[in-house]
Amino acid sequence: MGVIIKQSAYASIINYIGVAVGAINTIFLFPEFFTQAEYGLFQAMVSMAIILSPFAQVGLPRSIVRYFPRFNKGLRSSGRFFTFVLIVAFFTIALFIGLFQLMDQWVFGFFEKNAPELFHQYWLIIILASVLVYISIFESFYKAQLNVVIPTFLREFFLKMSSGLLALMFFLDYISFEWFLRLCVASYAFSLLLLIIILLVKGQLRFNFSIFQLENSFIKEMSKYMLFIMAGAVGSIIVLRIDQLMVTGFLGTAETAIYTIAFFMGTVIEIPRRSISQMSDAIIANAFENERIDEVKKIYKQSSINQLILGSFVFILVVINLDNIYAIMPKGDEYSSGKWVVIIIGLSKLVNMGFGVNSEIIISSKHYKSNIYFVLILAALTIGLNVLLIPEFGLIGAALATFASIFLFNLIKMIYIYYRLQFQPFSIHTISALLLSGLCYFLLSIVPQFSNPILNGAYLTFLGFLIFGLLMLFFKPSKEITKIIQPIRDKFNL
């Protein structure tokens, strides 16, 4: 876990800086710079591209993580494998674009009534989806080499800074809204270019076009794996993103803006999971390749308790400060109807974290084929729940559909892992972590508060750090968390 912790620490720092930039953009700049309809259209365009991209990826990014250890025997060998992946990606993107032309009227017809303006961004969506395919491929190549810092920096900081600066240019009338959308897509393409250049400069990438030396048996094995993984990736993206697009289709782009901002606040909770998952992914794949099942079990349990504790802490800070956030947010009254969305989405992310790195374990194991079946069932369930709940309950209905889907998804995966591998992620420490988190929230909710939202937010956040840290240090539900907190206590003689 040493490499995981080191890279995760760096990536977590970048993630939190990125969250700060994203929070400034989402909570302060975008509501001020855009109308609700404009911001909702921008988010719907990005969400559409993200949902479409797995269809063109056909499981290539995940295949890199799985098979790279087999070819990690020098630049010539790894270069041949990666060149093969890039060539395959070119043809899968071309095939995807051709097939999508046959059904685009049906897809965009869903938005015709409440968000017809989304159709006008048709080619921007297609271009962005294609760029995202190659970004995912290069990010996986970095991940396979146990380097998540650079792709995390570009994804979580560079792209968010770019969109913020472009929004400012729009607000100052230097560019039109149409050019804002185009330049945002261009920033993704530039991010991809930087990923490639950095690999070349560091000497970690060599293109080797002798791909016909790859054994037919391997290509057949990888092709089967790709098709199964594609279905899983599509299902996962649908679970995570379809709610935003269905809000757009049922309620319009203005409601999408409210939902997106609330959804962002909820997803802040899962930041620690991103870093741990990214680094655990390659380690788990390597452990399965070398039949070190005990190492997989250890990572599974560690990821569950540590993600649950870290996620609970961030969830408490977000929920206890909700009124303060909306009070200082531009046009906060217009967006405050999303408060319950924040709480429900936050709980769904906390559930996802508490179940540990179950997806990474299933996909990296010999049982990866099973992933397709319950992911597709779950995707259908997610769409069905959104269709039922959004017209009836609006934004809260979309959030409830997401929560139910994520809970069922993780429950199914946990049961399956236990059935196949005979281990599960929970322990008595899981219960103690939840009870301590509940106690921390209760104590914060009853303390006297200030009327000034900025002062009150800083005050509650400080108390949250203090109370939660002391509870974790005293009851010690996680050895890893205790090791992080202990030096801080010693330094301040607490």
118: Cβ–Cβ under 8 A, 6 or more apart, which residues? 41, 44, 45, 48, 108, 111, 248, 253
The Cα 367–Cα 279 span in angstroms is 21
The label of the residue with tokens 């996680």 reads 478
Output 322 or 8, whichever has higher pLDDT.
322
Q: Is 18 exposed, middle or buried (0-12, 13-18, 19+ CB in 10 A)?
A: buried
Q: Give the helix ranges, DSSP H, for 58-74.
A: 60-71
376: Cβ–Cβ under 8 A, 6 or more apart, which residues? 231, 235
Closest CA to 177 of 325, 38, 335: 38
Closest CA to 168 of 28, 270, 54, 265: 28
Asked if pLDDT for residue 3 goes beyond 60, the answer is no
Distance of CA 474 to the CA centre of its chain: 32
Judge whether 364 and 62 are in contact, CB under 8 Å: no
For 31-64, how does the pLDDT look when each residue is reduced to its tens digit (9 = 90+)? 999 999 999 999 999 999 999 998 888 888 888 8
Output 146 or 476, whichever has higher pLDDT.
476
Output 88 or 127, whichever has higher pLDDT.
127
Judge whether 407 and 450 are in contact, CB under 8 Å: no
Output 396 or 204, whichever has higher pLDDT.
396
Asked if pLDDT for residue 193 goes beyond 60, the answer is yes
The Cα 55–Cα 104 span in angstroms is 14
Asked if pLDDT for residue 72 goes beyond 80, the answer is no
Neighbours of 113 (CB within 10 A): 10
Q: What is the pLDDT of residue 101?
A: 87
296: Cβ–Cβ under 8 A, 6 or more apart, which residues? 284, 287, 288, 361, 421
For 436-471, how does the pLDDT look when each residue is reduced to its tens digit (9 = 90+)? 999 999 999 999 999 999 999 999 999 999 999 889
Judge whether 144 and 68 are in contact, CB under 8 Å: yes
Which residue type, as a one-letter code, is found at position 439?
L
Judge whether 49 and 125 are in contact, CB under 8 Å: yes
Tell me what the mean pLDDT of segment 176-197 comes to. 95
Closest CA to 21 of 30, 10, 8, 11: 30
Which residue type, as a one-letter code, is found at position 288?
F
User: Which is it for the CA torsion 353, 356, 357, 363, positive or negative?
Assistant: negative
**What's the N-to-C CA distance of the chain in angstroms?**
29
331: helix, strand or coil: coil
Q: Which of 111-115, 281-285, 333-337 comes out lowest in average pLDDT?
A: 281-285
- Residue 361 tokens read as 């374990």
Mean pLDDT, all residues of the chain: 86
Tell me what the mean pLDDT of segment 137-160 comes to. 85
For 323-350, how does the pLDDT look when each residue is reduced to its tens digit (9 = 90+)? 999 999 998 888 999 999 999 999 999 9
The Cα 235–Cα 409 span in angstroms is 10
Q: Inter-axis angle of helices 293-320 and 271-289, to 10 degrees?
A: 170
477: helix, strand or coil: coil
Q: Inter-axis angle of helices 177-201 and 159-171, to 10 degrees?
A: 150
Judge whether 271 and 307 are in contact, CB under 8 Å: no
The confidence band for 409, taking pLDDT boundaries of 50, 70 and 90, is confident
The Cα 198–Cα 355 span in angstroms is 35
- Residue 339 tokens read as 């408060």
Asked if pLDDT for residue 261 goes beyond 60, the answer is yes
Judge whether 253 and 35 are in contact, CB under 8 Å: no
The Cα 131–Cα 126 span in angstroms is 9
Q: What is the pLDDT of residue 217?
A: 80
The Cα 364–Cα 353 span in angstroms is 19
Q: What is the pLDDT of residue 1?
A: 47
Neighbours of 415 (CB within 10 A): 12
Asked if pLDDT for residue 119 goes beyond 90, the answer is no
Q: Considering the chain, what percentage of its residues have pLDDT values greater than 70?
A: 92
Residues, the chain: 494
Q: Which of 326-340, 398-412, 480-494 comes out lowest in average pLDDT?
A: 480-494
Radius of gyration of the chain (CA): 22
349: Cβ–Cβ under 8 A, 6 or more apart, which residues? 266, 267, 269, 270, 273, 311, 315, 406
Q: What is the pLDDT of residue 367?
A: 81
Asked if pLDDT for residue 270 goes beyond 70, the answer is yes
Output 299 or 184, whichever has higher pLDDT.
184
